[in-house]
Structure 1
Amino acid sequence: MAEIDLNADLGETTAGNPVADDAAMIQLVSSANVACGFHAGDPHDIARTVEAAAQRGVTVGAHVGYRDAAGFGRRFIEYAPNELADEVLYQIGALEALARKHGTTIRYVKPHGALYNAIVHHAEQSQAVIDGIKAFGGDLAVMLLPGGIAVHHAEKAGLRVISEAFADRNYLPDGTLVPRSRPDAVISDPEVVAARVLQLADTGTITAVDGTVLNVPATSVCVHGDSPGSVAMTQSIVDRLRAAGIEIRSAL
């Protein structure tokens, strides 16, 4: 790749309690997945993150999730499909209002946490998420894990799909993410993470936990803002990519 999108989950500060250094991360990434208040974030702090992204020229995406602040959106929840579609649409609309206030707009949607993982294989919730995005209208793209059923539903609905890989998450041999319940789910070594991103950019592959080399057709890479040492980790990725002549640029 001559260029790659680097995204981070941001805007998750709630009641003044930050989980990431949004200001520092926005200086490093090209896309910001901004929380919409359901899994985390409150209107004021979400607005501050959107404002900072707008000032920096960082592309803003709606990071929609289950209505589960207590579980940070990382617990699966059963939903009636129409209710889930409405909640996805509601979150997009709320974030778009804040984005417009600060002179920008939402360009894509990325599901968060348990919802993101569920729609890899859960047909009803996958369709509901796509229905919610489609109902908003416009030309919103959707950021998804390659190979999941949500990709099929999105493409069938005429939505552009941004295929995503994860810098600081381990993969299973089937191409899905190692569950966060396992101790090896998250990679914390900045040099290891940076090397993985460079491997993806150079070869289009990621090595799973068992050594399987996976073909991952991703154009965007996520680094989690709430991971320990996330700023140093992201800086390491940026430095390694720039040294290799790879431009960090939004996928949109």
Structure 2
Amino acid sequence: MNDRLDQLTPRLDAAKAVDLNCDFGEGFGAYSFGQDDELLRYVTSVNIACGFHAGDPHTMRTAARKSLAAGVAVGAHPGLPDRLGFGRREMKITASEAYDYVVYQVGALSAFVQAMGGRLRHVKPHGALYHMAGRDQEIAAAVVKAAADVDKRLLVFGGSGSLLLNEARRQGLGAVSEVFADRTYRADGTLTPRREPGALLASTEAAVQQAVSMAAEGKAYTASGDIIAIKADTICLHGDGPHAAAFAHSISSALLAANISLRAPGAVL
């Protein structure tokens, strides 16, 4: 795709802003992974696992403490009750179950954050629940209602153009359009499934270039190399790869060099 990089070079004629988020605190018990401490140097918001797909009371408290100390916006990352599958396997759940799962997890993390004098800022469903809420109206409505019932000030992170964002707007919550720097997209704006060829951008150069283009001009790659329109309020940085911190540094540096400031959604300048 390197021959298409020139098409994704943004014009630097106007200052813009974007949020950088990462999934956070996804260990549990004696197990930990990812590069949480290093990523806090670059991100402006975090999505903390709430105990279902990953996390436990201790890791939730620790993750919240570190995030608040770093001055980043703290969000909840509720998932399906499937720790063995890390919340990435779809489950046949009802809207009522989705509501209960989200209230339970968001409420628990919010309590930790409040106990430290902070406030939970957003909700981003994890894994399979994220994708289910993006395309299933009943699940989307249940997830948003759960967030609203916990705190009507919460923002909802969802895929660009997804039903989840539409439902957040319908219920009066702030909708934050999320994109992924290292993933390709389908023509309809949804992510290319990981099992399909070309789902991941092969090089850091291509991923960084796409991140800048999405933030500056709303352009992203499809797996075939075409360019589509997309809305980027926040860019997700995956934190579980061996080079996650270096990747985050490259993206944040490139955005700043392109005159794109970094700040959490709703942050006051």
TM-score, normalised with respect to structure 2: 0.89
| Aligned equivalent of 1:76 | 90
Q: Which residues of 2 match residues 130-141 of structure 1 at below 5 A?
A: 130-141=144-155
SS of the residue corresponding to residue 111 of structure 1 reads coil
- Asked if 1:203 is matched to 2:229, the reply is no
| Aligned equivalent of 2:254 | 240
**More deviation, 174-183/27-36:** 174-183
Deviation at 1:190, TM superposition (A): 2.4
| Aligned equivalent of 1:28 | 42
Deviation at 1:247, TM superposition (A): 1.3
| Aligned equivalent of 1:174 | 188
Unaligned 5+ segments in structure 2 are 1-14
Alpha-carbon distance change, 105 to 188 in structure 1, aligned in 2, over 3 angstroms? farther
Deviations, residues 149-191 of structure 1 (Å, cap 9, x unaligned): 2222211111110011111222122211121223543336322
Measured on the aligned residues, the alpha-carbon RMSD in Å equals 1.5
Structure whose CA Rg is larger: 2
- Asked if 1:216 is matched to 2:230, the reply is yes
Q: Which residues of 2 match residues 1-252 of structure 1 at below 5 A?
A: 2-182=16-196, 184-187=198-201, 189-252=203-266
Deviation at 1:80, TM superposition (A): 1.9
Q: Is the 8 A contact 2:74 2:121 kept in 1?
A: yes
TM-score, normalised with respect to structure 1: 0.95
CA distance in 1, matches of 2:140, 2:79: 12
SS of the residue corresponding to residue 111 of structure 2 reads helix
Alpha-carbon distance change, 152 to 201 in structure 1, aligned in 2, over 3 angstroms? closer
CA distance in 1, matches of 2:31, 2:200: 22
| Aligned equivalent of 2:11 | none
Supply the AA of the counterpart residue of 1:140: L
Supply the AA of the counterpart residue of 1:151: L
Deviation at 1:12, TM superposition (A): 0.2
Deviations, residues 181-240 of structure 1 (Å, cap 9, x unaligned): 235433363222111111112211111111221111121110111133111100100111
Unaligned 5+ segments in structure 1 are none
Supply the AA of the counterpart residue of 1:198: V
